[in-house]
């Protein structure tokens, strides 16, 4: 139920997509509505369950929604990827609308809580299917690379703001009129989002296959557990990363109980508390990149874990809303720093042949953490109190960070850290949008190539096997016998068209001076770019623009 925001772009660039004449504005507005529906529905049902049976019932209902979604959503997403992009997105939003309407009907009929939970669980599944389809649509809607970057940034902003606004809307609506009003609003918003994305008429969203096995996520996860066996450092890191999801799962229940029993603010107060953690996470994601460029990441992970636990436990010290919101925002911020630093270290220290499977384990443990937090919270409320329940959870997270840090240091010792290569990779727009831990993985695979003056690096018409980034020197670009008047210099790049479009080289590149190039093999390049919605979308737009430029050169 939580999305990870990976960066922020300057505001003028961010807003550019809203000026586009294509359907991108409709898609972005629809996605903003979708994000609000996601958070408001989730918190609204948690509040409903709390009113029906207290903290225990809220925890049980949360787990009952999460587990089926974790199993079913990936299967549905795989089916949706085979449909035309526009149709898949509109069907996904229609599914969200229908499941919200079913939940509303169950509430209106005063059905048993388990009927409402079943209906709400289907909405969680439908919501989980829709997000990846939105990112698959963006490259076909954007006019150029700048529009695409803007679209991605606006989408991330919508996700981050929904983490704050959704719980508040759910809390205020539930307290003022009842859960039905929240679900009814979500149904209307989802229906409007569906209408906005109708008639896009886009092609299939399935990316081209570039080799590799077709193992299911479940099989990859089991293989990942086998790869981690005996690696105490990696196992300890997985445990620490899971604590952030325990924090998230617990807050969805504890926030409600604390607002009701301690603050006396009802549902509106719980929305503010949960939203505070969300806005902290949004800020943490935006600043994380500046912290993970360090050689040693264990200190960042330790401090982030301690702040995460301290922020959660400190809530018990207060009986007023503003300070409670402040410490939860600190906890949310620390949690995002923990996630980015932890994943980056995992990337640096894990053998590339098993990294995908290890990250499959990390995804599995994140769901386990959500369910564990949702289950622990009501038990602690019943055993201690709504206020005191924060203390053992906070202490547990802090203790976990300290104990695991001793083992995590071994990962720093063996990690492959290549800062020069990382900076050069960041200079390429469609690589720069990748999360830091994905760039770390790619940096481990690159090699340097020194090219003497006059050497032909690639020849037009030959198969493409590598992607190159220019670090030093200049090169001549010749297309169809026509040489470009402007040489290619640092930090330029070439070779992506042949790899992304699966076509022969479209230009001949010759060194005008001694040149130093960063070389990325085809399989590593494609794994990084096509594995990221942001990177794949932006790379496709840029390569299409380069193809059009080359065609114009041949025509002159």
- 252-266 tens-digit pLDDT: 888 888 888 888 887
On whether both 371 and 228 belong to a single domain, the answer is: yes
Task: Measure the CA–CA gap between 200 and 191, rounded to whole angstroms.
Answer: 16
On whether both 254 and 351 belong to a single domain, the answer is: yes
Residue 474 predicted with pLDDT over 90:
yes
Greater pLDDT, 445 or 12: 445
Task: Measure the CA–CA gap between 439 and 464, rounded to whole angstroms.
Answer: 22
- Could you tell me the CATH number of the domain that includes residue 533? 2.60.120.10
On whether both 33 and 127 belong to a single domain, the answer is: yes
pLDDT of 163 reads 78
Would residue 100 count as lying in a domain?
yes
On whether both 162 and 42 belong to a single domain, the answer is: yes
User: Comparing C-alpha atoms, which of 424, 464, 431 is closest to residue 447?
Assistant: 424
On whether both 321 and 458 belong to a single domain, the answer is: no
Q: 96 in the Ramachandran plot: left (φ > 0), alpha (ψ -120 to 50) or beta?
A: alpha
Would residue 425 count as lying in a domain?
no
On whether both 338 and 469 belong to a single domain, the answer is: no
On whether both 193 and 311 belong to a single domain, the answer is: no
pLDDT of 97 reads 94
Would residue 426 count as lying in a domain?
no
Would residue 542 count as lying in a domain?
yes
- The tokens describing 341, both together, are 């630093």
* Three-class secondary structure of residue 469 per DSSP: strand
| Cβ contact 240:305 at 8 Å | yes
On whether both 219 and 197 belong to a single domain, the answer is: no
pLDDT digits (tens, 9 = 90+) for 234-247: 888 888 989 988 98
| Cβ contact 267:396 at 8 Å | no
Residue 94 predicted with pLDDT over 90:
yes
Q: 204 in the Ramachandran plot: left (φ > 0), alpha (ψ -120 to 50) or beta?
A: beta
pLDDT digits (tens, 9 = 90+) for 359-408: 656 666 777 788 888 888 888 988 999 899 999 999 999 999 999 998 99
What percent of the chain clears pLDDT 90, i.e. is strictly above it? 24
Of the residues 389, 417, 445, which one is the last residue of a structural domain?
Answer: 417
Q: In the structure, what pLDDT confidence band is assigned to residue 538 with cuts at 50, 70 and 90?
A: low
* Three-class secondary structure of residue 204 per DSSP: strand
CB atoms within 10 A of CB 334: 27
Task: Measure the CA–CA gap between 227 and 237, rounded to whole angstroms.
Answer: 14
Residue 362 half-sphere exposure toward CB, CA atoms < 13 A: 22
Backbone angles phi, psi at 474, to 5 degrees: -140, 150
pLDDT of 213 reads 46
Would residue 209 count as lying in a domain?
no
On whether both 113 and 40 belong to a single domain, the answer is: yes
Q: In the structure, what pLDDT confidence band is assigned to residue 143 with cuts at 50, 70 and 90?
A: low
Residue 552 predicted with pLDDT over 90:
no
Q: In the structure, what pLDDT confidence band is assigned to residue 289 with cuts at 50, 70 and 90?
A: low
- Could you tell me the CATH number of the domain that includes residue 44? 1.20.1250.20
Would residue 520 count as lying in a domain?
yes
pTM for the structure as a whole = 0.63
| Cβ contact 428:491 at 8 Å | yes
Would residue 549 count as lying in a domain?
yes
* Three-class secondary structure of residue 470 per DSSP: strand
Task: Measure the CA–CA gap between 76 and 80, rounded to whole angstroms.
Answer: 6
Greater pLDDT, 220 or 386: 386
Average pLDDT over residues 180-188: 93
pLDDT of 470 reads 92
User: Comparing C-alpha atoms, which of 512, 503, 499, 497 is closest to residue 549?
Assistant: 497
The pLDDT mean for the chain works out to: 79
Task: Measure the CA–CA gap between 3 and 97, rounded to whole angstroms.
Answer: 20
On whether both 261 and 410 belong to a single domain, the answer is: yes
On whether both 13 and 129 belong to a single domain, the answer is: yes
**Domain interval for residue 118:** 1-204
- DSSP code of residue 144: S
* Three-class secondary structure of residue 296 per DSSP: coil
Give the count of domains, the chain. Answer: 3
On whether both 443 and 522 belong to a single domain, the answer is: yes
Residue 151 predicted with pLDDT over 50:
yes
| Stretch (H or E) spanning 218 | helix 217-228
Would residue 423 count as lying in a domain?
no
pLDDT of 476 reads 92
pLDDT of 26 reads 83
Greater pLDDT, 164 or 335: 335
Task: Measure the CA–CA gap between 549 and 543, rounded to whole angstroms.
Answer: 10
Of the residues 417, 452, 483, which one is the last residue of a structural domain?
Answer: 417
Of the residues 204, 233, 268, which one is the last residue of a structural domain?
Answer: 204
pLDDT of 545 reads 54
| Stretch (H or E) spanning 156 | helix 145-176
């Amino acid at each position: 139920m939580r999305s990870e925001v990976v960066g922020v772009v300057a505001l003028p660039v961010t807003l550019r997509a809203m000026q586009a004449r294509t359907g991108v504005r409709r898609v972005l507005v629809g996605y903003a509505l979708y994000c609000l529906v996601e958070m408001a529905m989730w918190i609204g049902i948690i509040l409903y369950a709390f009113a029906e049976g207290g903290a225990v019932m809220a925890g049980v209902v949360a787990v009952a929604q999460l587990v089926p979604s974790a199993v079913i959503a990936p299967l549905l997403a795989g089916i949706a990827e085979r449909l035309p992009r526009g149709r898949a997105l509109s069907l996904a939003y229609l599914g969200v609308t229908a499941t919200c309407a079913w939940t509303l009907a169950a509430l209106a009929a005063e059905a048993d809580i388990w009927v409402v939970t079943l209906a709400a669980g289907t909405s969680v599944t439908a919501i989980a299917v829709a997000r990846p389809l939105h990112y698959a649509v963006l490259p076909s809607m954007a006019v150029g690379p700048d529009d695409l970057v803007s679209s991605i940034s606006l989408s991330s902003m919508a996700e981050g703001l929904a983490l704050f606004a959704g719980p508040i809307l759910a809390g205020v609506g539930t307290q003022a009129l009842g859960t039905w009003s929240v679900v009814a609003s979500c149904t209307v918003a989802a229906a409007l989002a569906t209408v906005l994305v109708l008639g896009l008429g886009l092609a299939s969203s399935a990316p081209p296959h570039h080799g590799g096995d077709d193992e299911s996520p479940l099989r990859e996860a089991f293989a990942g557990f086998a790869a981690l066996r005996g690696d105490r450092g990696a196992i300890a890191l997985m445990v620490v990363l899971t604590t952030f999801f325990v924090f998230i799962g617990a807050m969805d229940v504890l926030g409600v109980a604390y607002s009701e029993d301690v603050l006396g603010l009802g549902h509106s107060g719980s929305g503010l508390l949960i939203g505070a953690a969300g806005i902290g996470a949004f800020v943490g994601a935006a600043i994380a990149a500046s912290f993970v460029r360090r050689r040693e990441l264990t200190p960042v992970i330790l401090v982030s874990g301690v702040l995460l636990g301290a922020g959660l436990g400190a809530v018990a010290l207060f009986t007023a809303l503003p300070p409670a919101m402040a410490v939860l925002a600190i906890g949310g911020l620390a949690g995002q720093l923990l996630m980015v630093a932890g994943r980056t270290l995992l990337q640096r220290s894990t053998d590339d042949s098993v990294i995908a499977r290890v990250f499959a384990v990390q995804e599995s443990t994140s769901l386990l953490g959500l369910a564990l937090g949702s289950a622990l919270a009501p038990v602690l409320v019943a055993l201690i109190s709504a206020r005191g329940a924060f203390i053992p959870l906070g202490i547990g997270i802090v203790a976990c960070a300290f104990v695991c840090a001793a083992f995590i240091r071994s990962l720093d010792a063996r990690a492959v850290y290549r800062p020069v290569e990382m900076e050069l990779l960041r200079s390429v727009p469609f690589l720069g949008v990748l999360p830091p831990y994905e760039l770390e993985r790619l940096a481990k695979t690159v090699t340097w190539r020194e090219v003497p003056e006059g050497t032909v690096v690639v020849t037009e018409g030959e198969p493409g096997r590598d992607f190159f980034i220019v670090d030093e020197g200049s090169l001549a670009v010749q297309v169809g016998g026509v040489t470009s008047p402007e040489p290619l210099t640092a930090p330029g790049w070439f070779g992506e068209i042949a790899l992304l479009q699966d076509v022969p080289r479209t230009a001949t590149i010759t060194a005008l001076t001694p040149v130093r190039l960063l070389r990325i093999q085809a399989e590593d390049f494609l794994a990084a770019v096509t594995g990221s919605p942001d990177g794949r979308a932006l790379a496709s737009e840029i390569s299409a623009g380069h193809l059009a430029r080359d065609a114009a050169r041949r025509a002159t």
